[in-house]
A and B are shown apart, each in its own frame.
Chain A
Amino acid sequence: DGGITQSPKYLFRKEGQNVTLSCEQNLNHDAMYWYRQDPGQGLRLIYYSQIVNDFQKGDIAEGYSVSREKKESFPLTVTSAQKNPTAFYLCASSSDRGFNEKLFFGSGTQLSVL
């Protein structure tokens, strides 16, 4: 089945620690995205990538880093500089072909601070 796989489902971070969230897609989509969702709120864009080896900051990139070495993979690292990392993180992909692109989302990773 084609889709987007995020792992792990739940992740705990100790203070001062960097953690990496995995996102893999087999939809052959060019564009991939990371969103943050806080309880009772909408989605805020962290980073996006339209092509391999290239990525752009979204609205709340501070304290996060990404890489796009392969088309299928777009891992997100939450660094120790992110002082309030507890949130639900969503990865998405799209064909990015034009104005009518639709986002396909993974099941999310819940990150909590110990």
Chain B
Amino acid sequence: GESVGLHLPTLSVQEGDNSIINCAYSNSASDYFIWYKQESGKGPQFIIDIRSNMDKRQGQRVTVLLNKTVKHLSLQIAATQPGDSAVYFCAENIRRGKTGGFKTIFGAGTRLFVKA
């Protein structure tokens, strides 16, 4: 049957402040992690990625940190802007097994509100 609806974790920040969105992943064998941003009524879009042999990667205003010891991933957004308001999903790619290739497992998501 269908699962009961759950409320997304929410983060509210002031415009111009830094945002930190956290994510715990489950599979210690994951090789690759991605952050996606989903604006209201749209599909998710790729933001930044990181391989398991790295612990930090920086993009434009965004940084992803990976702590494999505690299986934790975070997304930092510098100088948060109103356009950053969205739901952010972490995802990990794991091997499919028999059919080969990889599959993407999504986290539950975090809703970011930016106050002007």
Contact = CB atoms under 8 A, between A and B. Distances in A.
Majority DSSP secondary structure for residues of A touching B: loop
Interface residues of B, number: 32
Contacts of A2: none
Given A99-B32, A107-B42, 17 more contacts: A38-B2, A38-B5, A41-B109, A42-B89, A42-B106, A42-B109, A43-B106, A45-B103, A48-B103, A56-B99, A96-B101, A100-B93, A101-B93, A101-B102, A103-B36, A105-B45, A107-B41
Interface of B: 1-3, 5-8, 31-32, 34, 36, 41-46, 49, 51, 89, 93, 95, 99-104, 106-109
Interface of A: 4, 31, 38-43, 45, 48, 50, 56, 84, 90, 92, 96, 98-108, 110
